[in-house]
Amino acid sequence: TCPVGVATQDPELRKKFTGQPEHVVNYLFMVAEHARQVMAKLGFATIDEMIGRVDLLEPNDAIVHWKAQGLDLSPMLMPAQAPRPGVEVFCTTKQDHGLDESLDNRLIELALPAIEGGEAVSAAMPIRNINRTVGTMLSYELAKSRDESDPLADDTVHFRFHGSAGQSFGAWLAHGVTLELEGDANDYVGKGLSGGKVIVYPDRKSTFVASENVIVGNVALYGATSGEAYFRGRAAERFAVRNSGAQAVVEGVGDHACEYMTGGRVVVLGPTGRNFAAGMSGGIAYVWDVGGGFASRCNLEMVALQKIAEPSERHEVRRMIQRHYDYTGSEVARRVLDTWDFAVQQFVKVMPEDFARVLRERAAKEEAAQLSERGVA
């Protein structure tokens, strides 16, 4: 239901948006004013006074449905104080998220030379699944200290971890930061990736076949805007959903991969689940389709399946796979590279049709501009 470009970073598409931030502010003011009027009619001065007042609720007869006949919904309107006299019905105690114990505090301390002076920093340490959103607070400190036009150089901050990372490992990771994990990670790896680099590969002592096992959980790279990710192993479901600019290599994905993707590049060196590329309006995916059955698992409503024909594009895909091998030691990547001339023919290029049209129009305009300049000259 979302129109193409609604969440884009493409300057050409952003020009088509006619709204203004002030419109949103005004709308919310009007919502607040309407809420104030309703509260005044009910005799309330604050929201907190309203919470728990189920005695003021009543069923709407206009939406009574025959399917609900026989249902007794009265327990849903029982006051919270009935079973537990004196219980609070709204938040009175501030939540403690344990940020003072976050692993990022140590990372920030170690990264001070980079934060304050842009100096290179590296360190290694263990990680556990209780360590969540590792790298996020660090990225915040780096973002505060650096001008957007002068980001850190790649790999300025490089932390190596060993173990099983908690949820949101590398979330919103800033440019110049590399998080390398020997082990595995839970859901939301690289969520909102913002220029950083995430590398995950199995424990070197493990005996299982990496490409046949899940190495990162669900919804990896959700909403990523830029950066790189290399996963030696498979990702679970909803990989790279709403990716708008990150580049990633993975060795297999679950259902709904690249859903609503608007930008970036994804290389899949293995099998995919069903509904691949549903709602994908931008970016490009490349799937190594050894068995030839990928088309039946791809949602073809908005994309077309092609071969990688252009030499420059083949070179770019090969470069991404080479980096995947260099960072993770992937056996799958090595096999592809060793047989590249044959393997490249097995790749399927997943290209959104609207995105392809935009690229063609842009190329035509650039060519026309060049011809015009030559004519003037």
Tell me the per-residue pLDDT of 103-144, one tens digit each, with 9 for 90 and over: 999 999 999 999 999 999 999 999 999 999 999 999 999 999
Q: 145 is written with which tokens? A: 């200290």
DSSP state of 190: T
pLDDT, average across residues 187-193: 98
| Calpha distance 326→125 (Å, rounded) | 22
pLDDT, average across residues 167-184: 98
pLDDT at 107: 98
Sequence ranges of the domains in the chain? 12-77, 106-365
Dihedral sign of CA atoms 275, 191, 209, 338 in order: positive
Of the listed ranges 38-47, 65-74, 147-156, 304-313, the one predicted with least confidence: 65-74
Position 267 confidence tier, pLDDT thresholds 50, 70, 90:
very high
Closest by CA position to 283, among listed 350, 357, 235:
350
pLDDT at 74: 81
Of the listed ranges 51-55, 65-69, 100-104, 251-255, the one predicted with least confidence: 65-69
Is the pLDDT higher at 113 or at 71?
113
Q: How far is CA 56 from CA 78, 84, 113, in A?
A: 12, 20, 59
Q: Which residues pair with 121 in a beta bridge?
A: 157
Contact residues for 102 (Cβ-Cβ < 8 A; gap 6+): 131, 133, 137
376 has pLDDT over 60 = no
Contact residues for 347 (Cβ-Cβ < 8 A; gap 6+): 286, 287, 288, 289, 307, 308, 317
pLDDT, average across residues 7-31: 83
313-346 pLDDT per residue, tens:
999 999 999 999 999 999 999 999 999 999 999 9
pLDDT at 292: 95
pLDDT at 60: 79
| Calpha distance 221→223 (Å, rounded) | 6
Is the pLDDT higher at 282 or at 372?
282
Position 193 confidence tier, pLDDT thresholds 50, 70, 90:
very high
Got the DSSP string for 24-83?
Answer: HHHHHHHHHHHHHHHHHHHT-SSHHHHTT-GGG----GGG--GGGTT---GGGG--TTTT
Across 154-186, b (16+ Cβ under 10 Å) vs e yields eebbbbebebbbbbbbbbbbbbbbbbbbbbbbb
Share of the chain above pLDDT 90, in %: 73
SS3 for 374?
Answer: helix
pLDDT, average across residues 75-102: 85
| Calpha distance 354→360 (Å, rounded) | 10
| Calpha distance 102→107 (Å, rounded) | 9
Q: 252 is written with which tokens? A: 């297999």
283 has pLDDT over 90 = yes
Contact, 283 vs 265, CB < 8 A? yes
Contact, 180 vs 163, CB < 8 A? no
pLDDT at 371: 83
Measured in degrees and rounded to the nearest 5, phi and psi for residue 86 equal 85, 0
Position 6 confidence tier, pLDDT thresholds 50, 70, 90:
low
pLDDT at 122: 98
19 has pLDDT over 60 = yes
Rg (CA), the chain: 26
HEC-encoded secondary structure of 288-319: ECCCCCHHHHECCCCEEEECCCCHHHHHHHHH
Contact residues for 348 (Cβ-Cβ < 8 A; gap 6+): 286, 287, 289, 294, 295, 305, 306, 307
43 has pLDDT over 70 = yes
Average pLDDT, rounded, for the chain: 93
216-263 pLDDT per residue, tens:
999 999 999 999 999 999 999 999 999 999 999 999 999 999 999 999
Is the pLDDT higher at 6 or at 182?
182
> Identity (one letter) of the amino acid at 59?
P
CATH 2.160.20.60 fits 106-365, yes or no: yes
Position 4 confidence tier, pLDDT thresholds 50, 70, 90:
low
Position 3 confidence tier, pLDDT thresholds 50, 70, 90:
low
Closest by CA position to 210, among listed 221, 202, 218:
202
- CA 200 distance to own-chain centroid: 16
Contact, 194 vs 214, CB < 8 A? no
| Calpha distance 221→224 (Å, rounded) | 5
Is the pLDDT higher at 146 or at 211?
211
| Calpha distance 185→340 (Å, rounded) | 30
52 has pLDDT over 60 = yes
